[in-house]
Amino acid sequence: MSRISAVAAGGQNIVAFLDTLAFSEGTSTSPTTQDDGYDQIVGRTRFADYADHPNELVAIPKLHISSTAAGRYQLLHRYWVIYKKQLHLSDFSPMSQDMIALQQIRECRALPDILAGRFEIAVSKCRHIWASLPGAGYGQHEHSLSALTAVYLKCGGKFS
């Protein structure tokens, strides 16, 4: 479950959307997580020190790529550097990871849609950030909208 409260995030729909992203990225359900996905490195390994983004380059042979994705929302190291400065973050803690994901959602202009319960529109607006969302087109596993909708509802999200 997201560490940021519904009050601090702006509403339960936002927390449900964050939890849905973690499900979609596979971090919150990873068999190796000991912290609801906040401790995950791409490829299903984990890190233990939240002082900084782990910045571990992991080869993903199946996709013919390497990635530095880490944390609950699989943030690339190059974006961590930017968001750390922009949001005045001191560490890569779960709360910092939630704050970055919220900022990314804002940048996608999806926050009003989430607040209003327009889940499908919000997913569409965010799919270029998270490769696991339907229609992302990165060649990685994409979840169906119906599967994500079920998770969103289970996490307390509401529709308009």
Q: List, for residues 38-64, the tens digit of each pLDDT value.
A: 999 998 899 999 999 999 999 988 888
Helix (H, G, I), strand (E, B) or coil at 133: coil
Residue pair 91/59 in contact by the 8 Å Cβ criterion: no
Distance between start and end Cα atoms, the chain = 23
**Which entry of 25, 56, 120, 142 is annotated as an active-site residue?**
25
Residue 62 DSSP class? G
Say how far apart CA 52 and CA 70 lie, in whole Å: 11
pLDDT bracket for residue 25 (50, 70, 90):
very high
pLDDT for 63: 82
What's the whole-model pTM score? 0.94
Identify whether 25 is a catalytic site residue: yes
Flag the least confident range among 8-12, 35-39, 54-58, 99-103: 8-12
| CB atoms inside a 10 Å sphere around CB 150 | 13
List domains and CATH numbers for the chain. 6-154 (1.10.530.10)
Q: Which of 138, 131, 134 shows the shortest CA–CA distance to 152?
A: 134
Q: To which H or E segment does residue 117 belong? A: none
Say how far apart CA 2 and CA 95 lie, in whole Å: 8
